[in-house]
Amino acid sequence: MNIPPHDPDSRPAPRYAAIKESLSQAIRSGTLPKGTVLTEGRIASLFGTSRTPVRTALNELLEVGLIARFEGRGFVVHGAGKVTPTRTPLTREMLGLAPDSPPEPQPATAERIARRFEDSLALALPFGLFRINEQAAADHFEVSRTIVRELLSRFQDRGLVRKDLRSHWVVGPLTARDVAHYFNIRGKLEPLALMESASQMAPAEIQRMWQAADDAISGRTELDAALIDELENDIHVRLLARSSNGYLLRMIHQTQIALVVNRVFASYVGARPFEVSLREHLIVLEFIKRGAHAAAAQALEEHMRLAAERTRKRLMAISVFPEPDLPRYLQRQTA
């Protein structure tokens, strides 16, 4: 069997490039009129993608002058003369997308439900001890128990769930003491990974992370729980991912479960309390942009120290919130 040589030019264009091209054509053709407000969330929804490639596409359109920032949140289609921002509801047709285009191929079943399953477990984590009923979860997501077990094993590797003495899957409780222990470990390990990983990253990627955090702080993008999650992943996952030490990255991954406290907290009170944390992100990224990786590692360690105390207080605050409406496959247990 002859295998044709790999052609690097045959790889599909990055997602952001396709989004940029569609937006560019729509602006040049006039289907996106001058003054139309463009926001990451709406465009991501229409393209069926996350905010990250949309943010990259918008920033590149900004550089070539097709769009401009305005005092509200988002961008506005640029044009000659004075531009008045107009919040026209965006449609697929306006972006040059066929209204009846076939859906993209569905991901594998486990991947399709993984985030929803993880989010429900994360939501329960600060509120006590819960048993996970495998069959009820399988019925809820309309998948086999094999898929549920596969995901639970994956979540176990991350420290999200565990098995009790009767080999039942359980989640929670996450205590202030747990948070302190996790952050003590992360505060030492993440700077180590950053020292190696940051030097391997493209300057454009570092600039993207910095710009995303700066846009969120300044109000140029809408700061919500989903964006907070992405920005946290920039610093604590993507920024460390180029380390060649797989064992180190796995240990870090297993101690990042405390991040779910922030996700739950943001879902209750909004994202504005996270601006202080994002300013610390900017300090880390600014050092990396300057090539000062040792200083960046020290800044990350200090960020982790401050974040530990903030997370402890948020966990205490969550304890007085009303318990969320959890799915039936989560059954409260006594310790």
- Domain ranges for the chain: 10-77, 109-173, 176-317
CA distance 63 to 127: 46
220 vs 170, higher pLDDT: 170
pLDDT for residue 271: 58
Kindly state the percentage of the chain with pLDDT values over 70: 85
How many whole angstroms from its chain centre is CA 211? 15
In one-letter notation, the amino acid at residue 164 is: D
Least confident range of 46-60, 137-151, 250-264: 250-264
Say if residue 151's pLDDT is above 50: yes
CA atoms of 204 and 246, how far apart (whole Å): 24
Contact 99, 93 (CB under 8 A): yes
What is the pLDDT confidence band of residue 94, given thresholds at 50, 70 and 90?
confident
CA 214 – CA 206 distance, rounded (Å) = 12
Range in 3-7, 122-126, 190-194, 210-214 the model is least confident about: 3-7
pLDDT tens figures, 267-296: 666 656 778 889 999 999 999 999 999 999
Q: What is the mean pLDDT of the chain?
A: 82
In angstroms, rounded to a whole number, what is the distance separating the alpha carbons of residues 49 and 58? 14
Contact 184, 1 (CB under 8 A): no
Average pLDDT over residues 34-40: 85
What is the Cα gyration radius of the chain?
Answer: 22
Model pLDDT, residue 270: 61
Q: What is the per-residue pLDDT for 175?
A: 82
Could you tell me which residues are beta bridge partners of residue 171?
130, 161
The pLDDT of residue 120 is above 70: yes
The number of beta carbons lying within 10 Å of the beta carbon of residue 109 is 16
Task: Indicate the CATH number of 109-173 among 2.40.50.140, 1.10.150.120, 1.10.3720.10, 1.10.10.10.
Answer: 1.10.10.10
CATH topology of domain 10-77: Arc Repressor Mutant, subunit A (1.10.10)
Please tell me if the domain spanning 109-173 has the same topology as the one spanning 176-317: no
Q: Which CATH class is domain 176-317?
A: mainly alpha
Closest by CA position to 124, among listed 169, 177, 186: 169
Window from 56-60, 147-151, 186-190, 221-225 with minimum mean pLDDT = 221-225
Give the pTM.
0.61
Rounded to 5, what percent of the chain is helix, strand, coil? Answer: 60, 5, 35
